[in-house]
Amino acid sequence: MLPVFAEYIQFLKDKTNNNEELDVLSEGYYWVDNQIIKAFDFKGNLHKILRINIDKDLDITLKPYKKPYTGEIESWNKTSIRLKDHLDKLEEESIKLLAKYKETDRIIIDTNSTGKDSMVKTHLAKKAGLIFTTYFNVTTCDVKDSNLMAKQNKYEFIYPDKKLRGFYNYIKKDNIIPSRLNRFCCTLFKENPTINNFNSVDKLLFLFGMRNDESANRSGYEDMWVNEKWGKRRDWISVLPIRKWTDLDIWLYIFRENLELNSKYKYGYNRVGCGLVCPNYNKSTWALDQYWYPKMYDRWQRILREDFLRNHKWISINCTLKEYLQGAWTGGLLRPEPTPEVIQEFANYKGVTYEIATKYFDKYCINNCKNKNGKPKKIKDKDTLAMNLKMFGRNIDKFMCKQCLMKELDIDEFKWNQYIEDFKRSGCDLF
């Protein structure tokens, strides 16, 4: 759940041309949860007010519920007062857990992303009387709001390896886009830099803001947690002081304690990290990106476009360029087989006939080669497909993977690359 701030209300008005359904909204009373605007009554019942619909083009429409709630609604402040005893108990338990480490011989490391959970966790650590240093990971793909907030709070910055040269340079150099199936970003730009930033022989205690209700993976976490990536030789542990807290608990506590808030939340974001590029984001986030960070949004769209065309992703994920930009980039095969539209768009780009274009899709090695998962090896590389067509004729319907084709032609990797470069230089439309 996320509080509905004035900035988000203005965003909705601008995106829906000031839809009259929004006139009922004002900051301090409403919540948005899974694209549904809700409000509490004075008994703690949660009522659905409006549904927010976002289409593939990021256009927004609002739909009121058939039987809208017409009674009085409870303000954030009143909800906080109603749940005072609950919040007091959570705070007491968290501080009690943290206070165990007031006399620890470990160096206490507080990690803070400037997100809501981090801010509550750091606040509780201060209340518990711990002595610690707060660190902020510079991922190089966060928005300025987060970086500026960390700088103003004088957090220590942890930078990624200089060899990576930042997120955008890295993906350009390595010709790779993050996806749900290949989430290298956190490892390279957060976890590894954090591990490398500290002396492996020091005894460390990390303060993390992870919570059980964030995901299925974290639902089983206990008060203490050890990251297996730290390895057995490091005597590092972490404590999770807010693991039992819910989103609602976090927000009500922030209001009650008047804690500093990252501006992204006011804009309508549920998370503040990794601006635009996280494959776990969705249409609701991209609509916000397009509105609040248009330059960054346009930049990412250009990067995605270049990636799609350069790597001929019609072939690998069976989608059009528009579908890729609208979200297919976030992970895996879009559909089992290409549609005629996908094939025709690829044919137009390559300058070949529709019939020739079909030969680039859903081809498997004739020698029944298997991939690393033991399944039939699908040929996705357009140069390998083109080489088959070039060497054996455009009418073939049986193909070989790169390794089998090199063996068939009795050539090595050097000769293979030389062939491809020569064919491209000659203007062969297959390549």
Q: What is the CATH number of the domain that holds 160?
A: 3.40.50.620
**Low-confidence stretches of the chain (pLDDT beneath 70):** none
What pLDDT, on the 0 to 100 scale, is given for residue 18?
79
What pLDDT, on the 0 to 100 scale, is given for residue 217?
82
Question: Taking the C-alpha atoms of 409, 413, 415 and 419 in order, what is their torsion angle to the nearest 10 degrees?
Answer: 80
Q: In Å, how far from its chain's centre is CA 45? A: 32
What pLDDT, on the 0 to 100 scale, is given for residue 66?
81
- Measure Cα distances from 72 to 42, 47, 80 in Å: 8, 11, 17
What pLDDT, on the 0 to 100 scale, is given for residue 124?
98
Is 288 among the domain residues?
no
72 and 88 housed in the same domain: no
Q: Which of 54, 76, 98 is the last residue of a domain?
A: 76
24 and 111 housed in the same domain: no
Three-state DSSP state, 182: strand
Give per-residue pLDDT as tens, 180-225. 888 888 999 999 999 999 999 999 999 999 999 988 888 889 999 9
Looking at the DSSP assignment, which residues form a beta bridge with residue 61?
53
Contact (CB, 8 A) for 334 and 317:
yes
What pLDDT, on the 0 to 100 scale, is given for residue 58?
96
The candidate with the shortest Cα–Cα distance to 252, out of 76, 34, 59, 9, is 76
What pLDDT, on the 0 to 100 scale, is given for residue 68?
78
What pLDDT, on the 0 to 100 scale, is given for residue 17?
86
The H or E element that residue 347 is part of is: helix 340-350
93 and 117 housed in the same domain: yes
The H or E element that residue 120 is part of is: helix 116-127
166 and 57 housed in the same domain: no
72 and 142 housed in the same domain: no
Give per-residue pLDDT as tens, 125-152. 999 999 999 999 999 999 999 999 999 9
Is 276 among the domain residues?
no
Rounded to an integer, what distance in angstroms lies between the CA atom of residue 168 and that of residue 350?
28
Give per-residue pLDDT as tens, 233-274. 999 999 999 999 999 999 999 999 999 999 999 999 999 988
Domain carrying residue 39: 2-76
- Measure Cα distances from 89 to 199, 279, 394 in Å: 37, 36, 73
What pLDDT, on the 0 to 100 scale, is given for residue 403?
95
What pLDDT, on the 0 to 100 scale, is given for residue 224?
95
238 and 102 housed in the same domain: yes
Question: Taking the C-alpha atoms of 177, 182, 184 and 186 in order, what is their torsion angle to the nearest 10 degrees?
Answer: 110
187 and 140 housed in the same domain: yes
138 and 232 housed in the same domain: yes
